[in-house]
Amino acid sequence: ATDAPIHTIAAVAARIREDAPDLAERVEVVRPRDRLRLGGIGVEVVGELHAVIHPDLPRFHNSGYLLEVDGTRVFHPGDALTGPGREVDVLLAPVSAPWMKISEGIDFARSVGAARNVAIHDRIYSDTGLGVADQHFGRFLAAAEQDYVRLPEGADLD
């Protein structure tokens, strides 16, 4: 609905060109370690492969993005679960997926080590399941002196 540029991995770019050829000229393929400047925000592409779904399935490309916003580093890992290799202030922490256990999400958040962790990728669980996940993320990350929060839908990340 806008004229915004589209920065994505090769497979998604190919799909956009096929399904929405009118957008093709706005698509730019990104690769790990690419650095972009978008609307005054520094962005670095991180990771390369989606986390393992099942050993019998091939892994496919998937990238995360490290954003530098007014001196604050915010990391969205996508489904790659590859850390950025540097200090992060805010991790958008994946909580649930059909291919991920709660313990994997907690271990990933601990390994990134962000002081603040904001729940994302959490639509697969019921309200009860999210309650369990939030309890575990909160407890284990607090023990590592990391904050954890699930923001209400539509809330801004302050």
- Token output for 38: 């978008």
Bridge partners of 28? Answer: 7
Separation between Cα atoms, residue 60 and residue 120, nearest integer Å: 21
Separation between Cα atoms, residue 77 and residue 111, nearest integer Å: 12
Percent helix / strand / coil, the chain, rounded to 5: 30, 30, 45
pLDDT score recorded for residue 141: 96
pTM: 0.86
Mean pLDDT per 10-residue run, the chain (158 residues)?
Answer: 88 95 95 92 91 88 93 93 94 91 94 96 89 95 95 86
- Token output for 92: 């958008």
pLDDT score recorded for residue 34: 96
Write the CA distances from 94 to 70, 85, 107, 112, integer angstroms: 24, 17, 11, 12
pLDDT score recorded for residue 157: 82
